Structure 1
Amino acid sequence: MRALLLENVHQDAATILRTAGIEVETVDRALDHQALIAALDGVQLLGIRSKTEVTEAVFDEAPDLLAIGAFCIGTNQVDLAAARERGVAVFNAPFSNTRSVVELALAEIIALTRRLIPKNTGMHAGVWDKSAEAAHEVRGRRLGIVGYGNIGAQLSVLAEALGMSVYFYDTADKLALGNARRCGSLDELLAVADVVTLHVDGRAGNSGMFGAEQFARMRPGSLFLNLSRGFVVDHGALRAQVESGHLAGAAVDVFPHEPAGRGDEFRSELRDLPNVILTPHIAGSTEEAQQDIGRYVAGKLRDYQFDGGTAMSVNLPYLSLPPRPGGHRIAHLHRNVPGVLAKINSLLAEHKVNIDGQLLDTRGDYGYVLTDIGVDYPAAVLDSLAAMPETVRVRLLG
């Protein structure tokens, strides 16, 4: 069993997999299409972060691949449909770095509101400017959160504790926490907020959602933050709004095109702007968050490999069946059509295989069943299950 971990995944991930008896190779950067295909030869488990793209063409050239761990929140870098069609489970870490992202957002809101960036730049240039002009407290200011998921909701609570008034907009029906007020539209939020911060997901529909029209509707002198996805914002329009003075400042952590590795040149229309904070996609990159992500996702990969567990998978039905020592487990992913479970059990009965435990779940067009059997079984039973027209992938575990 081999695993490939890319993009400086935390070392605890490799330790967890090696302890489970898996051979692990680590690479400190993303791999492009051809390099990834070459590296996946004979690899069953792949760990990536946000830069490595796993396309349908990659899956076509990696028949041994069983599971992918995205050691981050987003999974838009993986073709989830192609993975599901080939029986490859995909896991991510939807909660592990929430606090880290929220803390950076709060730090940037305070830094921009107090104009710490130009003050710091002036001091390094030998300029002493003790003026309070354009510097404000965050207390009493109105924060507009676009996207009220795990990050947006936690930011809402902590910002309110600092004395900010919180408004939020989300396309889904979300419960307001504390005294936060829900806005019926994005325009309503933009009209009232002193600070607008984006915390949306990576779905294709969010591409280009924030451009010249949205910036123009923000309040004069307001602040803008994007710690979500690079492709949701028109950076040319953002630069124009900062240069015109319509926006008093901005903080951006994600970009449409990002360097593949540490030390590579960073290019952006947002460089060299006053009171603008640019960070290299580090909102969730604290030692605490990366360690937690490494442990969480590696645990999911290990459990899927040895127990067939898919709890919290982003593309397969959720199943978690406790291990049953002294036997084998059959993991069967199939098309979700009527009668599949009956077929599986009939085939097992024909081969005189007794079922010790079984669990089934479905998700959309796919079903997944775990079946515990005894140690003794005829090899032909697996061939029979694999030959079922509904079968996507079948594995024998234990």
Structure 2
Amino acid sequence: MTSAILLENIHANALCRFKEAGIEVERHSGALSGNLLRDALATHQIVGIRSSTQIMRPDIEAAGHLHAIGCFCIGTSQVDLSAAAQIGIPVFNAPFSNTRSVAELIVAEAILLLRRVPEKNTLAHAGTWAKGAEGSFEARGKTIAIIGYGNVGAQVGVLAEALGMRVVYYDVQAKLSLGSAKAARSVAAAISQADVVTLHVPATLRTAQMIDATALSLFKPGAVLLNASRGSVIDINALAHALQNKVLGGAAIDVFPDEPGTNDERFSSVLSNMPNVLLTPHIGGSTQEAQENIGTEVAAKLIAFLATGDTAGAVNFPHVSPGPLIAPARLLNVHGNAPGVLAALNGLLAKEGANIVAQQLQTKGETGYVVSDLDRMPSKNFIDIISDQPGFIRTRVLTKD
């Protein structure tokens, strides 16, 4: 029986979807690592994670029975995508389902920081009545710089513009702006004119500590910084120094370089106890609506892949959508993207005496993926024959039953 393991408290909606599809599910509230993770990957066909579980090449290479990985979130930097593709494992995510949740949190935090609510809240709890308008500003008329104008960044821009903010953005790729947003030529050009800077970039070598002491020195006096992307993109110690020296007016940080694996572990940060800083425990996409939508979306993609070989939406894999299986059998073959591999496969099928009813092939990078519908079920030793062929990575057979 096909089984899945869901980590990090993935929404119960995903559990229901898998069970409806006849998939046995094991569910954990926290992340796994080391031997516990490898044991889970070795004994399940599907693994579902959020952002804390790190699945790297050694983990993937030890996962002999794993068919697919589901990232129940936007990002996929916690998975070695290249290693997964090389072994024939597609990785699916939910690039749109929680964008609104993150965008709403960012805009709310920007307003709170501009109004100096964190500081006044701390003082009020301590018994100090700090009524006054000094240092408190409206969002209307202020400039927000969005670094990374993808699904979330663009949504932030739409909401910010509705508040009357001026929106500038920078992205490494040319992006069509929404509303009146204007593209900046560089990160420096964007942040140097902004009252609010918000980060929405992936974790890559290029973005590692992109907001360091040099970048922070370019901020306007009193500007605020928000990060709900990845913890690696800010030099946290440099940020703490800038806040202590009043270079920045405040910050809202939702992601950190080192985060607890579970809610039972203690959290600590150099930003703790700073009155002008909002610290949240990686909850940018953590609304009931978002988690329910993510659970539905990613589970549906994983179930479709298991049932039909559909890889639409995979982030590291060629996209093939073969539709429902009508023929007696369907052969799913992952191979290296090299000349002659498809001809070799079809030659073996001809020797097997299996006629190809329909066939779809797509490639992405070094990976090729071909789905072949056959007029008969291949013999039991056919998969062994396929596996011995050079250039073939992984083969799976689906039957109409």
Question: What TM-score results when the alignment is normalised by the length of structure 2?
Answer: 0.97
Residue 77 in structure 1 maps to residue 85 in structure 2: no
Task: Work out the CA distance in 1 between the residues paired with 2:27 and 2:325.
Answer: 32
Task: Work out the CA distance in 2 between the residues paired with 1:50 and 1:33.
Answer: 16
Query: What corresponds to 1:362 in structure 2?
Result: 363
Residue 24 in structure 1 maps to residue 15 in structure 2: no
Task: Work out the CA distance in 1 between the residues paired with 2:65 and 2:213.
Answer: 46
Mean CA deviation greater in 382-391 or 290-299: 382-391
Task: Work out the CA distance in 2 between the residues paired with 1:204 and 1:222.
Answer: 26
Unaligned runs of 5+ residues in structure 1 are none
By how many angstroms is 1:380 displaced?
Answer: 3.6
Query: What corresponds to 1:222 in structure 2?
Result: 223
Query: What corresponds to 1:100 in structure 2?
Result: 101
By how many angstroms is 1:397 displaced?
Answer: 1.1
By how many angstroms is 1:184 displaced?
Answer: 0.6
Residue 262 in structure 1 maps to residue 250 in structure 2: no
- The one-letter code sitting in structure 2 at the alignment partner of 1:389 is P
Task: Work out the CA distance in 1 between the residues paired with 2:42 and 2:247.
Answer: 53
By how many angstroms is 1:9 displaced?
Answer: 0.6
- The one-letter code sitting in structure 1 at the alignment partner of 2:372 is T
- The one-letter code sitting in structure 2 at the alignment partner of 1:220 is P
- The one-letter code sitting in structure 2 at the alignment partner of 1:327 is P
Query: What corresponds to 1:149 in structure 2?
Result: 150
SS in 1 for 2:154: helix
Task: Work out the CA distance in 1 between the residues paired with 2:378 and 2:168.
Answer: 61
**Residues 108 and 351 of structure 1, relative CA distance in 2, 3 Å threshold:** same
- Residues 332 and 393 of structure 1 are in contact (CA less than 8 Å); yes or no, is this contact kept in structure 2? yes
SS in 2 for 1:41: helix
Deviations 1:330-385 (A, max 9, x none): 00000111122222222112221111111100001111000111344333433332
- Residues 327 and 374 of structure 2 are in contact (CA less than 8 Å); yes or no, is this contact kept in structure 1? no
- Residues 45 and 66 of structure 1 are in contact (CA less than 8 Å); yes or no, is this contact kept in structure 2? yes
Query: What corresponds to 1:236 in structure 2?
Result: 237
SS in 1 for 2:25: strand
Q: Where has structure 1 moved over 3 Å in runs of 4 or more?
A: none
Task: Work out the CA distance in 2 between the residues paired with 1:273 and 1:167.
Answer: 28
Task: Work out the CA distance in 1 between the residues paired with 2:41 and 2:227.
Answer: 34
Number of aligned residue pairs: 398
- Residues 327 and 357 of structure 2 are in contact (CA less than 8 Å); yes or no, is this contact kept in structure 1? no
- Residues 33 and 53 of structure 1 are in contact (CA less than 8 Å); yes or no, is this contact kept in structure 2? no
By how many angstroms is 1:42 displaced?
Answer: 2.1
- Residues 7 and 31 of structure 2 are in contact (CA less than 8 Å); yes or no, is this contact kept in structure 1? yes
Task: Work out the CA distance in 1 between the residues paired with 2:215 and 2:377.
Answer: 65
Residue 138 in structure 1 maps to residue 113 in structure 2: no
By how many angstroms is 1:40 displaced?
Answer: 2.8
Mean CA deviation greater in 222-231 or 114-123: 114-123
Task: Work out the CA distance in 1 between the residues paired with 2:271 and 2:353.
Answer: 68
By how many angstroms is 1:12 displaced?
Answer: 0.9
Query: What corresponds to 2:204 in structure 1?
Result: 203
Query: What corresponds to 1:273 in structure 2?
Result: 274
- Residues 147 and 197 of structure 2 are in contact (CA less than 8 Å); yes or no, is this contact kept in structure 1? yes
Query: What corresponds to 2:168 in structure 1?
Result: 167
Task: Work out the CA distance in 2 between the residues paired with 1:157 and 1:178.
Answer: 7
- Residues 9 and 28 of structure 2 are in contact (CA less than 8 Å); yes or no, is this contact kept in structure 1? yes
By how many angstroms is 1:101 displaced?
Answer: 0.4
Residues 337-356 of structure 1: pairs in structure 2 closer than 5 A: 337-356=338-357
Query: What corresponds to 1:324 in structure 2?
Result: 325
- Residues 41 and 62 of structure 1 are in contact (CA less than 8 Å); yes or no, is this contact kept in structure 2? yes
Task: Work out the CA distance in 2 between the residues paired with 1:64 and 1:380.
Answer: 19
- The one-letter code sitting in structure 1 at the alignment partner of 2:101 is S
- Residues 251 and 276 of structure 2 are in contact (CA less than 8 Å); yes or no, is this contact kept in structure 1? yes
Deviations 1:304-351 (A, max 9, x none): 111111111111100101113352110000011112222222211222
By how many angstroms is 1:112 displaced?
Answer: 0.4
- The one-letter code sitting in structure 1 at the alignment partner of 2:72 is F
- The one-letter code sitting in structure 2 at the alignment partner of 1:358 is Q
Task: Work out the CA distance in 2 between the residues paired with 1:55 and 1:189.
Answer: 34
Query: What corresponds to 1:183 in structure 2?
Result: 184
- The one-letter code sitting in structure 1 at the alignment partner of 2:15 is A
- Residues 312 and 319 of structure 2 are in contact (CA less than 8 Å); yes or no, is this contact kept in structure 1? yes
**Residues 378 and 283 of structure 1, relative CA distance in 2, 3 Å threshold:** same
Query: What corresponds to 1:45 in structure 2?
Result: 46
Task: Work out the CA distance in 1 between the residues paired with 2:95 and 2:13.
Answer: 18
- Residues 355 and 376 of structure 2 are in contact (CA less than 8 Å); yes or no, is this contact kept in structure 1? no
Query: What corresponds to 1:33 in structure 2?
Result: 34
Unaligned runs of 5+ residues in structure 2 are none
- The one-letter code sitting in structure 2 at the alignment partner of 1:253 is D
Query: What corresponds to 1:120 in structure 2?
Result: 121
Deviations 1:22-73 (A, max 9, x none): 1100011001211111233321111111111112211232211111101111
Task: Work out the CA distance in 2 between the residues paired with 1:323 and 1:270.
Answer: 53
**Residues 41 and 385 of structure 1, relative CA distance in 2, 3 Å threshold:** closer
